[in-house]
Amino acid sequence: MPLTYVSMRGAASPLLLSAAAAVVMLGAAEAHGSAEAASGNGAVRGVDQSVFGQLPDGRQVDVYRFINANGIEMRVTNYGGIILSLKTPDVRGEFDDIVLGFDSLEDYLSDEYRQANPYFGALIGRYGNRIAGGQFSLDGETYSLATNDGDNHLHGGRQGFDRVLWQAEPFENDDGAGLILRYTSEDGEEGYPGRLEAEVTYTLTDSDELIVDYRAATDKATPVNLTQHSYFNLEGEGGGSILDHHLTINADAFTPVDETLIPTGEIRPVAGTPFDFTQPTPIGERIEQDNEQLTFGKGYDHNFVLAEQAASPSEPVLAARVWEPESGRLLEIATTEPAIQFYSGNFLAGDLTGKRGQAYEHRSGFALETQHYPDSPNQADFPSTILEPGETYRSRTIYRFSAQETAGS
For residue range 140-177, list pLDDT tens digits in order.
999 999 999 999 999 999 999 999 999 999 999 998 99
Q: Is-cis flag, bond preceding 126, omega within 30?
A: yes
Cα 206 to chain centroid distance, Å, stands at 20
Q: Which residues contact 113 (CB under 8 A, 6 or more apart)?
A: 102, 107, 352
Percent of the chain with pLDDT over 90: 83
Count of domains observed in the chain: 1
Q: Are 222 and 387 in contact (CB under 8 A)?
A: yes
Kindly indicate the confidence band of residue 310, based on its pLDDT and cuts at 50, 70 and 90: confident
Question: How far is Cα 209 from Cα 21, in angstroms, rounded to an integer?
Answer: 11
Which one of the listed residues 229, 245, 246, 302 is annotated catalytic? 229
Active site residue 246: no
Which CATH number is 364's domain given? 2.70.98.10
β 135-138/386-387 pair status: unpaired
Residue 22, domain member (yes or no): no
Residue 161, domain member (yes or no): yes
Residue 390, domain member (yes or no): yes
Kindly indicate the confidence band of residue 202, based on its pLDDT and cuts at 50, 70 and 90: very high
Which one of the listed residues 189, 190, 209, 369 is annotated catalytic? 369
Residue 398, domain member (yes or no): yes
Mean pLDDT of the chain: 90
Taking only the tens place, the pLDDT of each residue in 248-291 is: 999 999 999 999 999 999 999 999 999 999 999 999 999 999 99
Give the chain as a 3 state SS string: CCCCCCCCCCCCCCCCCCCCCCCCCCCCCCCCCCCCCECCCCCECEEEEEEEEECCCCCEEEEEEEECCCCCEEEEECECCCEEEEEEECCCCCEEECECCCCCHHHHHCHHHHHHCCCCCEEECCECCEEHHHEEEECCEEEECCCCECCEEECCCCCCHHHCECEEEEEEECCEEEEEEEEEECCCHHHCCCCEEEEEEEEEECCCEEEEEEEEEECCCEECECEEECCECCCCCCCCCCCCCEEEECEEEEECECCCCCECCCCEECCCCCCCCCCCEECCCCCCCCCHHHHHHCCCEEEEEECCCCCCCCCCEEEEEEECCCCCEEEEEEECCCEEEEECCCCCCCCCECHHHCECCCCCCEEEEEECCCCHHHCCCCCCCEECCCCCEEEEEEEEEEECCCCCC
Domain range for 175 is 46-403
Residue 33, domain member (yes or no): no
| 219 has pLDDT over 90 | yes
Q: Are 5 and 148 in contact (CB under 8 A)?
A: no
Residue 409, domain member (yes or no): no
| 360 has pLDDT over 90 | yes
Question: How far is Cα 362 from Cα 100, in angstroms, rounded to an integer?
Answer: 13
Question: How far is Cα 179 from Cα 172, in angstroms, rounded to an integer?
Answer: 9
| Straight-line distance from the first to the last Cα atom of the chain, in angstroms, rounded to the nearest whole number | 28
Kindly indicate the confidence band of residue 314, based on its pLDDT and cuts at 50, 70 and 90: low
Taking only the tens place, the pLDDT of each residue in 77-102 is: 999 999 999 999 999 999 999 999 99
Residue 270, domain member (yes or no): yes
Q: Are 293 and 257 in contact (CB under 8 A)?
A: yes
- Of 21-35, 320-334, 344-358, the range with the highest mean pLDDT is 320-334
Q: Which residue has the higher pLDDT, 238 or 369?
A: 369
| 2 has pLDDT over 70 | no
Active site residue 229: yes
Taking only the tens place, the pLDDT of each residue in 19-68 is: 333 333 333 333 333 334 455 566 788 899 999 999 999 999 999 999 99
Q: Are 131 and 375 in contact (CB under 8 A)?
A: yes
Residue 155, domain member (yes or no): yes
| 373 has pLDDT over 50 | yes
Of 345, 350, 347, 346, residue with least CA distance to 361 = 350
The predicted pLDDT at position 15 comes to 32
Of 285, 262, 175, 161, residue with least CA distance to 216 = 161
Q: pTM of this prediction?
A: 0.90
The per-residue b/e assignment along 158-167, b for 16 or more CB within 10 angstroms, e otherwise, is eebbbbbbbe
| 313 has pLDDT over 50 | yes
